[in-house]
Amino acid sequence: MFCQSCSMPIDDAGLRGTEKDGSKSNEYCLYCYVNGAFINPDMKLDEMRNIVKTQMEKMHSPPNIIQLSLDSLPNLKRWREKTKTT
Ligand SMILES: [Zn+2]
């Protein structure tokens, strides 16, 4: 299971974001989504790319894994919906 905004694995329930009623989100992590809303609703896909890249480099992820994650971002629910509406 992956966050549909930043592609981070959210298998651990403690990493999941929260809905308005306090339940855990099945789609987004706690860094992207709290109380039923995105923490940074105006974020662009390019900004998310930079954040993910920086985070993964900090965690010393292999470059090919980083690239895979970046390539998967446009297919995630958050960004798919964005490109559909604009
Ligand atoms: Zn996320």
Residue 81 pLDDT: 74
The helix/strand/coil state of 24 is: strand
Query: Is-above-0.75 flag for pTM?
Result: yes
Ligand 1: distance of its center to the CA of 32 in Å?
4
| Locus of tokens 């339940």 | 23
45 closest CA partner among 9, 2, 84, 1: 84
Which residues are near ligand 1, the ion (C-beta closer than 5 Å)? 3, 5-6, 29, 32
Task: List per-residue pLDDT tens for the chain, 86 residues long.
Answer: 899 999 999 999 999 999 999 999 999 999 999 999 999 999 999 999 999 999 999 999 999 999 999 999 999 999 997 655 55
